[in-house]
């Protein structure tokens, strides 16, 4: 499938039963990008932000996974960690944290 506009296009490819391509192969297609943000691929060793909502009742990963570099939450008082905590509603702050972490200058 191809989705196009005067400003950009995207190609969606069905795997038709084939194995999911490894993240490295997919990311290589984005080699022109300054930053690639990935959701999922939990078996890959990558630096991660974890969204933690203690009231949801799920066990957080930051206690056992060393790849977690910061917590994003709307309940900071319910979390005990030495990791940086980012406000779930502070999109600009989360973006600034990511850019600082990967040494990308923010544009005004």
Residue 52 domain-assigned? yes
Question: Which domain does 91 fall in, by range?
Answer: 27-101
Residue 77 domain-assigned? yes
**Cβ atoms < 10 Å from Cβ of 80:** 6
Q: Give the model confidence (pLDDT) of 40-93 as tens digits.
A: 888 889 999 999 999 888 889 999 988 999 999 999 999 999 999 999 999 999
Distance CA(42)–CA(89), nearest Å, equals 24
Residue 42 CA to chain centroid, in angstroms? 11
Residue 80 domain-assigned? yes
Give the containing element (helix H, strand E) for 87: strand 85-87
Q: Give the model confidence (pLDDT) of 8-38 as tens digits.
A: 888 888 999 999 999 999 999 888 888 889 9
CATH classification at residue 79: 3.40.50.300
pTM: 0.80
Beta strands at 85-87 and 68-73: parallel, antiparallel or unpaired? parallel
Number of domains observed in the structure of the chain? 1
Distance CA(13)–CA(36), nearest Å, equals 19
Residue 35 domain-assigned? yes
Residue 12 domain-assigned? no
């Amino acid at each position: 499938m191809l989705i196009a506009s005067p400003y950009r296009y995207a190609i969606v490819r069905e795997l038709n039963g084939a194995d999911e391509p490894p993240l490295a192969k997919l990311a290589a297609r984005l080699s022109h990008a300054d930053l690639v943000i990935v959701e999922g691929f939990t078996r890959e060793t990558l630096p991660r932000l974890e969204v933690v909502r203690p009231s949801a009742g799920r066990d957080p990963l930051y206690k056992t996974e060393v790849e977690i570099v910061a917590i994003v939450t709307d309940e900071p008082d319910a979390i005990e960690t030495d990791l940086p905590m980012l406000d779930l509603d502070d999109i600009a702050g989360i973006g600034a944290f990511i850019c600082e972490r990967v040494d990308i200058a923010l544009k005004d």
